[in-house]
Structure 1
Amino acid sequence: MADLNASPSTTAQPSVDALPDPAPDPIRWQRPLHGRVALVTGAASGLGAALAAVLAAEGCDLVAADIRADALQMAMPALLGHGVRASALALDVGDPGAARAAIERCVATMGRIDILVNNAGTDVTLPLSDLSEQDWLRVINTNLNGPFLLAKHAAAHMRSQGSGDIVNVASTAAKRAWPNASAYHASKWGLLGLSHALHAELRPHGIRVTAVVAGGMRTPFLLDRFPELDPTRLQDPASVAQAIRHALLLPRESVIAEMTVLPMQETSWP
């Protein structure tokens, strides 16, 4: 059984083009996230693209980051069509220098950072005997080290602002295990633990940290690797994006430290 979640390889469903592209909004200030700035990783496809579209529709300014620069550029017109500021950033989240520079660029170009979504993810589906050290390190660097690095640097700015939101996209792979996915499970169990630790550490500074345990989604990340899966039993990534939107729009006195978002037809969890 496989899972779920982030965004490496091909064009996503839905892409940011799935939402309408209105003319710049003269009453943009009425939208709930007007004035906030978000950095979303893995934004070129899948959940990242869906979430970037949802945030832009709510008036949020965006830095959309992904390791695939060409795919990001294709998404920019739809995001800008919501009347927000948006820029594309080619980013390998597991590169410590690049992660630090990404946060610095966001603050320099947008003036602040209010929301960090650690969504970028990858997997190498191989048995332990065939999994190379390089494969292991690539998965851990992208799925666990990257969120740590970005959260570390983003939190420094959020503390000075007195508020912020960090969203870590985990997986049902953080709650159970299946064969041939040791690196992926290790990274997602680690990400869930990191998220709860950051929740405990950063809440006194007004920074909310949310872990999203997402069930199977209709994205190339899952379906390209496991074509035997029935897409009708998976969920639209836009539905998970709406759940994250809900968490971000809660009054600041409350936080969703962990949420589980599953397809109604999910058979692998619980």
Structure 2
Amino acid sequence: METLRGKVALVTGGARGLGVAIGEALAEVGAIVILADIRIDLAEQAAKNLQAKGMEAIALSLDITNEQQIESAIQKILDQHGKVDILVNNAGTDVTLPVEELSIEDWDRVMNVNLRAPFILSKFILPLMKQQGSGHIVNIASTAAKRAWANASAYHASKWGLMGLSHTLHVEGRPHGVKVTAVVAGGMRTPFLLDRFPDIDPAVLQDPKNVADTVRYVLMQPSETVIPEVMVIPMRETSWP
């Protein structure tokens, strides 16, 4: 297994939910974790919580829908650490409405966060990884990228698109020693679901730590091996048969 000690990991949507869990999973094996989020107050608290456990974590204010902010943030990381070893495109959003009620603005917002931002981040970071001759991009997809249900057209479109982007990046990165993995996650006990669907039974969802541990496992594969796609779903949740 590869070691993550000293690796610089940028995690978007790192202020809560799965982002925090991924940050902790990587930091506890020695990675330098950068928790990027538009909610800098929550990101700073999450970083402090990890620091209190003796881990190396940094909060970074970032609106991933703004390409200038992305470019500036990457430069800041390079100025401080000299490299980016891991990019986890984790940030996501959704609007639960039928197509005829979904506004164009809501469609654009979901696509900007879930698909456009991973493209821009990868566009800027993949060349750095190619130059290093190493690196790993992890895209957090969803079972929504494998099938469809009502009232989630923007989310489905963005996640199906993210899967296509992820596999294309995998093909483009491999000749240069860069790995790319899509993690297809089923429902988790995170604010993403629990805040929007208060009637959902938490027992049918999985602990985000389980998905975070899978992300860490993927990142720690030997250099000669890459896992392009992996699915992690709860035993009882029904988004996947």
TM bucket, shorter chain:
over 0.9
Partner of 2:14: 43
1:139 alignment partner AA? V
| Cα distance in structure 2, aligned partners of 1:186 and 1:236 | 25
| Cα distance in structure 2, aligned partners of 1:243 and 1:76 | 21
Q: TM-score under structure 1 normalisation? A: 0.86
The answer to whether residue 174 in structure 2 is matched with residue 200 in structure 1 is no
User: Residues 168-200 of structure 1: CA distance to partner in whole angstroms, max 9, x if unpaired?
Assistant: 000000011111111110000000000000001
Partner of 1:137: 108
Partner of 2:151: 180
| Cα distance in structure 1, aligned partners of 2:37 and 2:186 | 22
Asked if the contact 1:56–1:82 (Cα under 8 Å) also holds between the matched residues in 2, the reply is no
Matched residue SS, 1:255 = coil
Which residues of 2 match residues 106-121 of structure 1 at below 5 A?
A: 106-121=77-92
The answer to whether residue 43 in structure 2 is matched with residue 72 in structure 1 is yes
The answer to whether residue 211 in structure 2 is matched with residue 231 in structure 1 is no
Asked if the contact 2:30–2:56 (Cα under 8 Å) also holds between the matched residues in 1, the reply is no
Asked if the contact 1:59–1:83 (Cα under 8 Å) also holds between the matched residues in 2, the reply is no
2:74 alignment partner AA? I
The answer to whether residue 236 in structure 2 is matched with residue 255 in structure 1 is no
Question: 1:82 deviation in Å?
Answer: 4.6
Change (3 A) 1:224 1:84: closer
The answer to whether residue 221 in structure 2 is matched with residue 221 in structure 1 is no
1:112 alignment partner AA? K
Question: Which structure 1 segments of 5+ residues have no match?
Answer: 1-30
Q: Which moved more, 1:76-85 or 1:231-240?
A: 76-85
Identity, in percent, stands at 59
| Cα distance in structure 2, aligned partners of 1:125 and 1:265 | 22
Matched residue SS, 2:15 = coil
Report the aligned-residue RMSD: 1.3
Partner of 1:210: 181
| Cα distance in structure 2, aligned partners of 1:157 and 1:85 | 22
| Cα distance in structure 2, aligned partners of 1:81 and 1:36 | 20
Question: 1:84 deviation in Å?
Answer: 4.4
Question: 1:33 deviation in Å?
Answer: 1.4
Question: 1:160 deviation in Å?
Answer: 1.1
2:131 alignment partner AA? S
Asked if the contact 2:182–2:230 (Cα under 8 Å) also holds between the matched residues in 1, the reply is yes
Matched residue SS, 1:170 = strand
Asked if the contact 2:138–2:182 (Cα under 8 Å) also holds between the matched residues in 1, the reply is yes
Question: 1:83 deviation in Å?
Answer: 3.9
Question: Which structure 2 segments of 5+ residues have no match?
Answer: none
Question: 1:35 deviation in Å?
Answer: 1.4
Name which of 68, 84, 89 aligns with 2:60.
89
Matched residue SS, 2:182 = strand
| Cα distance in structure 1, aligned partners of 2:99 and 2:65 | 22
| Cα distance in structure 2, aligned partners of 1:144 and 1:267 | 24
Question: 1:266 deviation in Å?
Answer: 2.4
User: Residues 222-266 of structure 1: CA distance to partner in whole angstroms, max 9, x if unpaired?
Assistant: 111122221011000000000111000000100110000001112
